Amino acid sequence: MPHRFRGPDNQPKDVTATPTIDPGHVRCEITAGIATITFFHPKSNSLPGVLLTRIAEEVAVTGSNPDVRVIVLRSDGKKAFCAGASFDELRAVRDAEGGKRFFSGFARLILAMIRCPKFIVTRVQGKAVGGAVGVIAASDYAIASEAAELRLSELAIGIGPFIVGLPIERKIGLAAFSAMAVDADWRNATWGYQHGLYAELHSDIDALDAAVARRAATLSQRNPETMAQLKKIFWSGTEDWEERLDERVAMSGTLVLSEFTKKAVKG
């Protein structure tokens, strides 16, 4: 069974080793046509730039692998799905160039996901904040538990969901996206299901995992050429997203240097 396990330094890791401080990891396993990409970070599965890069790379690699028919994206653990971007890295931004580097991670991942010729089924077991909501929206099919609350918290710290807003607005519409962006409040999983972020909603982790396994197994038996063509239709009209995301990365990279944001994220 092909198995890749790499830390944020992009070097293979001994999966039996126990580091003193866990920097997080990205793991990919391929079984019976299903590639499962799993990420983890000790701070509620937040995503520093190196982990975002690793996930985007795994999506690209598995997307081009003829032995893979469907991709499952998930995080480790039973609590938070993903707390969004790393606050430690956000606090460390000192100039516009650093700001652009910080925000480009989610832009690259979103592009990798929507350009990937394989369906991406995302398992959402718990809370999703900020960039994580964008990852869910960039998925082709998201399956969630009832604990999978959603929040776009960016405005509360003086920035906005400019980058992740592209796939979110496309998935749920301008009205629902603008409400999330303006009030920065939590929304429950039922809201996510009713607005199309989640394709399925399940009562607990066991039911969630069973549903993900069923859906992935079913898709692994479907015609890969048909699924690739359907994916093109799903994401038609996004041909200019690279340029649009670059603009939004630059915008965010500047706003993060404001005094308001510096005070809001001061740790």
pLDDT digits (tens, 9 = 90+) for 31-47: 999 999 999 999 999 99
In order of 2, 63, 156, 179, 218, the CA distances from 161 in angstroms are 36, 27, 11, 12, 34
Query: pLDDT (tens digit, 9 = 90+) per residue, 65-104?
Result: 999 999 999 999 889 999 998 888 888 888 888 888 889 9
What's the sign of the alpha-carbon dihedral 75, 125, 166, 96? negative
3-state SS assignment for residue 167: helix
Please tell me the distance from the alpha carbon of residue 133 to that of residue 166, in angstroms, as a whole number: 11
Domain ranges of the chain: 3-207+220-264
Exposed, middle or buried by CB within 10 Å (0-12, 13-18, 19+), for 32?
Answer: exposed
Q: DSSP code of 47?
A: B
Looking at residue 157, what DSSP letter applies? G
pTM of the model: 0.90
CATH of 3-207+220-264, one of 3.40.50.300, 3.90.226.10, 3.40.50.720, 2.170.130.10: 3.90.226.10
| Successive 10-residue mean pLDDT values, the chain, 267 residues | 52 48 89 98 94 97 97 95 91 88 94 98 98 98 98 93 97 98 97 98 98 98 98 97 96 90 82
